[in-house]
Structure formats: structure tokens, C-alpha cells
Amino acid sequence: MATAQGLTAKEFLPWAGEILAILPAAFERLAADVDAGTYSGAEDNLLMELSGLEHVHATSVQAGVDPRLPALMRDLARRAIDDGHGADSWSRVVEVLRSRP
């Protein structure tokens, strides 16, 4: 999406580095939630995540970038919300993946 908006990959690199830097801690929290079977939503919740994912999807479509990955992520959040888990954290989608083919 960055290059579709006129940035070069090299110009985007500092932001990509910042995103990648937070992933280890985020995955650690997600793994702890999944292993414990608790999805507190104390740091984020699926309703909040869905809003961002809808924006990413719409931006992908507008930019002419394949929107299938953001659509998948958005739809996982929606399924968990439809199951009554909107206040839960993103890690709740693991249960969605486990329960449906």
C-alpha cells in the first residue's frame, strides 16, 4: 500500500522497522492468552481491531492492492464479534479458527 501511495520501499523502511520491533512482545502476549484460554481485551479488543481492519481493507481496495489478506483478518474479527466476543482481545480469533473449517 505504501508504494501505491507514492512512497518507495526504502522510504517506508523506517516505519516497517518500527512495526517489526513491536511484534515479539505482541506475539508473547497473544501466546500467553492462547495458552491460558483467556482473552481479556485489557490492551485491545476486537471491536477496536475491526474498525482498523475495515480501514485497511477499504484503503487496499482504493489503492488497487489485493484486499484478500485484510478481508480475511477483518472477517475473523467479525466472526468472533458475532459470537459475542467483541470485548475480547485479538487472540480470541484462535478460537474462531479452531471452531470453524
Q: What is the pLDDT of residue 101?
A: 64
Asked if 33 and 91 count as a contact pair (C-beta separation under 8 A), the reply is: yes
Q: What is the pLDDT of residue 1?
A: 87
Q: Which residue segments constitute the domains of the chain, with CATH numbers given? A: 3-99 (1.10.1040.10)
DSSP structure string for 10-46? HHHHHHHHHHHHHHHHHHHHHHHHHHHT----SS--H
Q: What is the pLDDT of residues 16-70, one digit of tens each?
A: 999 999 999 999 999 999 999 999 998 889 999 999 999 999 999 999 999 999 9
Higher pLDDT, residue 101 or 13: 13
Closest CA to 82 of 61, 58, 100: 100
Mean pLDDT of 72-85: 97
Residue 100 has pLDDT above 80, yes or no: no
CA–CA distance, 96 with 75 (Å, rounded to integer): 10
Residue 92 has pLDDT above 80, yes or no: yes
